[in-house]
Structure 1
Amino acid sequence: MTSPLRIGVWAPVHGPRAAWQDPAEPFDASWPHNRDTVLEAEALGYDATLVAQHTVNPHLADKDQIEAWTASAALAALTSRIEILAAIKPYLYHPVVLAKMALQIENISGGRFGFNLVNAWNRAEFEKAGIPFGAHDARYAYGREWISLVEPLLRGESVTHKGAHFDVTDYRLTPKSPVRARPRIYLGGESEPARALAADHADVYFINGQPLADVKAIIADLARRPRAGTPLAFGLAAFVIARETEREAEEEYRRLLALAAKDAPAKQEQAARTDPNVVMIRSFAKSPRVGTNGGTAAGLVGSYDQVAERIHAFHAAGIELFMLQFQPLRAELRRFAAEVFPRLGRPASAAAGRTIAAAS
Structure 2
Amino acid sequence: MSGGDPSAGRAAPEVAWFAALCDDDVEQLGVPAPHLLSSYEHCRDIVLAAADAGFDNVLLPSGYDLGIDGTVFAGALAPEVRDRMRMLLAVRCGESWPPQLARQLATLDRVLGGGLTINVISSDLPGAPIDSELRYRRTAEVMAILRRLLDGEPVSHHGETYDLEVAPPRIRTVSGRCPELYFGGHSEAARRVAAEHADVFLTWPDTEAAVAALVADMDRRAAEHGRSLRYGFRSHVIVRGTEAEARSAAAHLVDALDDVTGAAIRSRSLDSGSAGVRRQAELREGADDDGFAEEALWTGIGRARSGAGAAIVGDPDQVVAKLLRYRALGVDTFILSGYPHLAECELVGRYVLPALRAS
Q: TM-score, normalised by structure 2?
A: 0.85
Which blocks of at least 5 consecutive residues in structure 1 are unaligned? 58-64, 348-360
The separation in 2 between residues aligned to 1:180 and 1:4, in whole angstroms, is 24
2:354 paired with 1:342: yes
2:101 paired with 1:104: no
Residue in 2 aligned with 1:238?
Answer: 235
Q: Which amino acid aligns with 1:54?
A: G
Residues 217 and 25 of structure 1: CA distance in aligned 2, closer, same or farther (over 3 Å): farther
Residues 303 and 157 of structure 1: CA distance in aligned 2, closer, same or farther (over 3 Å): same
2:142 to 142, 146, 155: 146
Decide whether the 8 Å contact of 1:160 with 1:168 is kept in 2.
Answer: yes
2:265 paired with 1:254: no
1:73 is paired with a residue whose SS is helix
**192-201 vs 333-342, greater mean Cα deviation:** 333-342
Residues 151 and 338 of structure 1: CA distance in aligned 2, closer, same or farther (over 3 Å): same
How many Å apart are 1:257 and its aligned residue?
2.1
1:221 is paired with a residue whose SS is helix
How many Å apart are 1:193 and its aligned residue?
1.1
Residue in 2 aligned with 1:353?
Answer: none
The separation in 1 between residues aligned to 2:14 and 2:343, in whole angstroms, is 20
The separation in 2 between residues aligned to 1:199 and 1:39, in whole angstroms, is 34
Residues 209 and 143 of structure 1: CA distance in aligned 2, closer, same or farther (over 3 Å): same
1:186 is paired with a residue whose SS is strand
The separation in 2 between residues aligned to 1:269 and 1:243, in whole angstroms, is 27
How many Å apart are 1:77 and its aligned residue?
2.0
1:307-358 per-position Cα deviation (integer Å, ceiling 9, x unaligned): 01011111111111111111122122111111222322359xxxxxxxxxxx
1:264-284 per-position Cα deviation (integer Å, ceiling 9, x unaligned): 336337538756751022112
The sequence identity of aligned pairs, in percent, is 28
Residues 170 and 179 of structure 1: CA distance in aligned 2, closer, same or farther (over 3 Å): closer
Which blocks of at least 5 consecutive residues in structure 2 are unaligned? 1-8, 285-298
How many Å apart are 1:2 and its aligned residue?
2.8
**334-343 vs 238-247, greater mean Cα deviation:** 334-343
2:23 to 15, 27, 46: 15
Residues 154 and 281 of structure 1: CA distance in aligned 2, closer, same or farther (over 3 Å): same
2:239 is paired with a residue whose SS is strand
1:158 to 145, 150, 154: 154
Residue in 1 aligned with 2:3?
Answer: none
1:3 to 7, 11, 19: 11
Segments ≥4 residues shifted beyond 3 Å: 16-26, 227-230, 262-267, 272-277
Residues 137 and 23 of structure 1: CA distance in aligned 2, closer, same or farther (over 3 Å): closer
What RMSD, in angstroms, separates the aligned Cα atoms of the two structures? Answer: 2.4
Residue in 2 aligned with 1:87?
Answer: 90
1:172 to 162, 168, 175: 168
Decide whether the 8 Å contact of 1:25 with 1:329 is kept in 2.
Answer: no
2:232 is paired with a residue whose SS is strand
1:160-185 per-position Cα deviation (integer Å, ceiling 9, x unaligned): 22222112123221221222522111
The separation in 2 between residues aligned to 1:242 and 1:263, in whole angstroms, is 25
Residues 190 and 32 of structure 1: CA distance in aligned 2, closer, same or farther (over 3 Å): same
The separation in 2 between residues aligned to 1:7 and 1:249, in whole angstroms, is 21
Residue in 2 aligned with 1:116?
Answer: 119
Residues 23 and 270 of structure 1: CA distance in aligned 2, closer, same or farther (over 3 Å): closer
Q: TM-score, normalised by structure 1?
A: 0.85
Residue in 1 aligned with 2:126?
Answer: 126
2:52 paired with 1:43: yes
How many Å apart are 1:42 and its aligned residue?
0.7
The separation in 1 between residues aligned to 2:49 and 2:157, in whole angstroms, is 43
